[in-house]
């Protein structure tokens, strides 16, 4: 596999209005979902493509109610940066698996209260 640093590169830009931002978010989401099989194959993930797509959906849903246009632009920039790094194989397996950690390791979830964490012996 030949690494091309300009593969998937694009200029950073700000959204003109909310309609433009909405179109850019949908495009970013579709790019991520369409690349899920390639990510699974590249990183040899032991999970179905549906689990990867579910995690992508969760990451986008986490920022669904952002109400500032500049914040949406920053999130879009970060999303595309992650997308480019992932598909150019600039990440290691551990970087990709950090998104799935709470699903694979039940002990990775933080305790609900301070006392519960204290009694479990966690910092």
Q: What is the pLDDT of residue 69?
A: 96
Q: What is the pLDDT of residue 56?
A: 96
Query: Domain residue spans in the chain?
Result: 18-120
Q: What is the pLDDT of residue 8?
A: 81
Q: List per-block mean pLDDT (blocks of 10 residues) for the chain, which spans 123 residues.
A: 74 92 97 96 93 95 95 96 92 90 62 79 60
Q: What is the pLDDT of residue 101?
A: 76
Could you tell me the two tokens for 47?
A: 């999970």
Decide if 68 contacts 11 (C-beta within 8 A).
Answer: no
Decide if 56 contacts 47 (C-beta within 8 A).
Answer: no
Q: What is the pLDDT of residue 35?
A: 96
Calculate helix-pair angle for 69-87, 18-34, nearest 10 degrees.
Answer: 20
Query: Phi, psi (5° rounding) for residue 15?
Result: -75, 140
């Amino acid at each position: 596999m030949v690494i091309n640093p300009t593969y998937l590169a694009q200029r950073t830009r700000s959204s003109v209005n909310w309609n433009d931002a909405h179109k850019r978010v949908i495009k970013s989401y579709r790019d991520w979902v369409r690349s899920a099989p390639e990510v699974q194959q590249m990183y040899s993930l032991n999970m179905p493509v549906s689990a990867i797509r579910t995690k992508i959906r969760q990451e986008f849903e986490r920022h669904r109610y952002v109400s500032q246009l500049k914040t949406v632009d920053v999130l879009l920039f970060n999303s595309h940066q992650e997308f480019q790094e992932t598909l150019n194989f600039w990440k290691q397996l551990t970087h990709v698996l950090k998104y799935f950690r709470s699903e694979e390791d039940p002990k990775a979830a933080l305790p609900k209260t301070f006392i519960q964490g204290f009694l479990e012996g966690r910092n």
